[in-house]
A = this chain, B = another copy of it.
């Protein structure tokens, strides 16, 4: 097969964040500038990158952090401007205020001219001790639609979505050329070391599985470092970093540290999927006549 290879240098920005929002934003803008200077064309930040992971407790006052995400909003303008200034596509993640008492966990993609290429509102919302997201985020209402950019069609999903093969598959069926997961996940302090490693490996395995099942590269960016639980109810979260990129056979292209920040640029061959899907044409053989039970809660 003769084919022109289309390579995208993707920056995975694995950062630690603190309570100072201005400082977090400055750190992200510096990371974008650094990544662009090193040749990145696509920059991926982790989930809710302007703040601490505030879902460790349920506090009505925390809704003050939610922001109007119209183009001129203070939360997104610096990122839109950075995209234009550096000529890069940026995948951002915000706490979106839509109305009083109605907020979302929203990813926005800015294109190289600073325009909003599209947004995705997190569809699957977790809720377990120290991750009280159902309190803060209304489940997304935009469906699973790839975002068209000057670099290609991006299948942007967010964190908890990563456990759901349905989300990855619908993105692939919508023509996504890459799956991208901004994430905030870590260990609870009372888990054993064995259990911690099982959790981290499970998180990696399921996403490599999405790459394989869909013949698509996957880029996942997690935050790193310890954040205390403001309520003191738990021992806080040690975010496990471990950001990674995998090719369309699930093969690792890059794996970040589990305990240190870093900005890595990974060359992703967007044409590799063409070859892999010719070998393994799973989309050819799906039994759409028999998948009706997927639309049920449970088939008992």
Contacts and interface: CB of A to CB of B under 8 A. Distances in A.
Interface of A: 123-126, 128, 139, 143-144, 160, 163-170, 173-175, 198-199, 201-202, 205-213, 249-251, 279-283, 285-288, 290-300
B173 A298 contact: yes
Contacts of A212: 163, 202, 205-206, 209
B299 A295 contact: no
A293 B144 CA distance: 9
Given A160-B285, A209-B165, A294 B249 contact: no
Given A123-B287, A202-B212, 4 more contacts: A163-B213, A166-B287, A175-B299, A198-B251
A interface, over-half SS: helix
Contacts of A144: 290, 293
Nearest to A163: B282
A83 B88 CA distance: 63
A228 to B, nearest CB: 22
A251 B202 contact: yes
27 contacts: A123-B290, A128-B280, A139-B287, A144-B290, A163-B282, A164-B213, A164-B282, A164-B287, A165-B168, A166-B287, A166-B294, A170-B293, A173-B293, A175-B300, A199-B249, A202-B249, A205-B205, A205-B209, A205-B212, A206-B208, A206-B209, A206-B212, A206-B250, A208-B209, A209-B210, A283-B298, A286-B297
